[in-house]
Structure 1
Amino acid sequence: MSRPLYCFYISLLHIAFSLLAQQATCNRHLTSLVPPTPLVLPYHNGPLLTGDSRSSLQVHLLWYGSFSPSQRSIVTDFFNSFREPTVNDHVVVPKQRTNKQHVVPSVWSWWKVVASYVDKNNASVANVVKLGKQFSDTTYSLGKNLKRVQMQALILKAIKSKSLPRGSGMTNLYFVLTASDVLVERFCMNSCGFHDYTRLPLEKSTTHGHLLSLPFAWVGNAATQCPGLCAWPFAIPQFGPPNPPLLSPNQDVGMDGMIINFATLLAGATTNPLGNGYFQGDASAPLEAATACIGSFGPGSYPGYPGKVQVDSKTKASFNAFGSRQRKYLLPALWNPLTLTCTTPQ
């Protein structure tokens, strides 16, 4: 049986409370007389997703419902971005007064912060994230109104039918992505996604009675259900001042919102896969690598304002990280265990 570990949601009310608490650590004010208290996510001595011997983590996707090829490519290109970028991937800007070149923030540089988390054996979170197997359930086999526990059922069913591989150790992570017409329990009420884990019996050739921990996560497309909550800042906020939304970099508010939530869950699941990794607060609703910095995407962020991010000169879309094939993404700030501060892509 699995037990709930994580409830992730984005609303401006939540952002207001969480960002006020983190602002002292993310933004140092020169007028402050008292040094800010560092933000700390205690380590609870549990395992992290450290990957295999090559330090890579396999992420397997279960697409539930209807997704267009262009929507799928936004996600698959995101996975192809977990490597050091080249000139062909994105813009390279010459540094002033030097002949050297400066590569702008990327998905790869963003992930380096997550990879700086280490376990009790000094093993780090996987340096490389790779796209594993994909399976599409386009027939809505469990209907269009799902319970949260059914995410686990979908993954186990796909593993049993060999549509998805049976993972081993802490080297695999499974994601369920639901389409915009799928209703999920608590979606848009207090949740845009969650991560959890379940147990699988080991193969018959191994010791009887042992179980395999299988981390998994779910994220939904909020384009038509609650963009102001789960696709912010690419939509007018559902709560708070009706500030104009940012333009989404891939011209798909639902999918660009999913990338934000996907990245948040990916960071949380790798650094706290079984509920005894890095987190602060109640283990049933913890602050994790990205949720400790929720609502922050660039320098100067404050409640309801995502911070200063880059703007594409042609499309006017907002982003803070480049990916493969000249993709652009908006990724959440991460708690940096080396500096004890929230770090935006750089």
Structure 2
Amino acid sequence: MSKNKMGSFVTKIVLKIFLLISLFQISLAGRKLSEVVEDHPQLLTYHNGPLLSGKITINLIWYGKFKPSERAIISDFVTSLSSRTTPSQNNQPTVAQWWKSTEKYYHLTSKKSSLSVSMGKQILDENYSLGKSLKNKQIVELASKGEQKNVINVVLTASDVAVEGFCMNRCGTHGSALGSSNGHIKAKTYSKFAYIWVGNSQTKCPGQCAWPFHQPIYGPQSPPLVAPNNNVGLDGMVINLASLLAGTVTNPFGNGYFQGPADAPLEASSACPGIYGKGAYPGYAGNLLQDPTTGASYNAHGDNGRKYLLPALYDPATSSCSTLV
């Protein structure tokens, strides 16, 4: 055999061996990933920072065009967090019961603080005062329109608004910004206030940000579920808002409960991705409740007869993902 043929033969053998090794590594990594998602949520670490505590008001800042019926889906969810109405047997579990799970984080800290949330103001910016393409700093600017003391200011962008990173690597975010210590813009001293941004993915990326109410763009394919409020975009926003609210109160300033890098942390809800009911696995949201009339899937009852689908929360007491159903 000539040297050229021998070299070609050896090269082919090496390439085949490399391909087999690569396929094995890909298969192994895929299996490990699915195991983490299903059975072994990340252990969240407390970084000794403050949790959001005291009486906190949640203000909603609507950017772009939203129908009153769409705004009601979100506002009813927020009021449901602190609902004191005793639910009947047929109206359980509730949004308030889901939210109560966050109390476990407070019980584990040495400060033993507590939290009470309530619905605040709603601010409408229907004329796109900052345009239809927003950067992160403009989200903070919009969040600053609300009061800035003892608050979570939630910016909600309409489906025709593009936001930096939206649909590429995030469906929403939370953070903190400097605000006046007395709640007014013109003040001599400043303190941090918490904010959240969530976008309506209806026309841009419902497969990423409104699953399981829309077919996913990758991964296991299963039929989409019927949205409980008959609005894929807004029901998806509720899921993301719920997740970010849990992350905000337990890690408001980047030094609370989280796992991984501080600039891309796994938090109270994001540590349990894609889990909404018992028996969940990648591509399957879990065993959920179903409305006999509409066929909609949900796991929580809210105010005004609402039904919602809420994500699992990491339970720091059991180091596992906890669901309502």
Q: State the TM bucket, normalised to the shorter chain.
A: 0.7 to 0.9
Q: Cα 1:174–1:23, aligned 2, differ >3 Å: closer, same or farther?
A: same
For residues 64-113 of structure 1, the C-alpha deviation after alignment (integer angstroms, 9 at most, x for no partner) is 000001101101111221224434xxx624xxxxxxxxx52110110111
Aligned mate of 1:107, from 80, 90, 95? 95
CA distance in 1, matches of 2:40, 2:174: 26
CA RMSD of aligned residues (A): 2.2
CA distance in 2, matches of 1:204, 1:295: 37
Match of 1:227 in 2: 206
The residue identity in structure 1 corresponding to 2:176 is: Y
Aligned residues: 291
Query: Within 5 Å, which residues of 2 pair with 1:56-135?
Result: 57-82=56-81, 83-87=83-87, 92-93=89-90, 104-118=92-106, 119-124=109-114, 126=115, 128-135=116-123
Shift of 1:204: 11
The residue identity in structure 1 corresponding to 2:50 is: P
Instruction: Output the TM-score relative to the length of structure 2.
Output: 0.84
CA distance in 2, matches of 1:81, 1:114: 15
CA distance in 2, matches of 1:298, 1:80: 23
Match of 2:38 in 1: 23
Contact residue 290 and residue 332 of structure 1 kept, 8 A: yes
Shift of 1:341: 1.1
1:41 paired with 2:31, answer no
Match of 1:148 in 2: 136
The residue identity in structure 2 corresponding to 1:92 is: Q
Query: Within 5 Å, which residues of 2 pair with 1:1-346?
Result: 20-25=35-40, 39-52=42-55, 57-82=56-81, 83-87=83-87, 92-93=89-90, 104-118=92-106, 119-124=109-114, 126=115, 128-156=116-144, 158=145, 164-167=146-149, 171-202=150-181, 210-346=189-325
Q: Pick the structure with greater CA Rg.
A: 2
Query: Which structure is higher in RCO with an 8 Å CA cutoff and minimum separation 6?
Result: 1
Shift of 1:241: 3.4
Contact residue 37 and residue 282 of structure 2 kept, 8 A: no
More helix by share: 2
Which secondary structure does the structure 2 equivalent of 1:149 belong to?
Answer: helix
For residues 289-322 of structure 1, the C-alpha deviation after alignment (integer angstroms, 9 at most, x for no partner) is 0000010000011111111111111100000000
Q: Cα 1:62–1:303, aligned 2, differ >3 Å: closer, same or farther?
A: same
Q: Cα 1:273–1:19, aligned 2, differ >3 Å: closer, same or farther?
A: farther
Q: Cα 1:65–1:16, aligned 2, differ >3 Å: closer, same or farther?
A: farther
Shift of 1:47: 0.7
Shift of 1:201: 4.5
For residues 262-293 of structure 1, the C-alpha deviation after alignment (integer angstroms, 9 at most, x for no partner) is 00000001100000000011111011000000
The residue identity in structure 2 corresponding to 1:109 is: Q
CA distance in 2, matches of 1:84, 1:132: 17
Gaps of 5+ in 2: 1-29
CA distance in 2, matches of 1:204, 1:246: 42
Shift of 1:203: 5.2
CA distance in 2, matches of 1:84, 1:224: 36
Which secondary structure does the structure 2 equivalent of 1:301 belong to?
Answer: coil
The residue identity in structure 2 corresponding to 1:288 is: E
CA distance in 2, matches of 1:246, 1:121: 42
Instruction: Output the TM-score relative to the length of structure 1.
Output: 0.79
Q: How much identity, in percent, do the aligned residues show?
A: 47
Shift of 1:133: 1.1
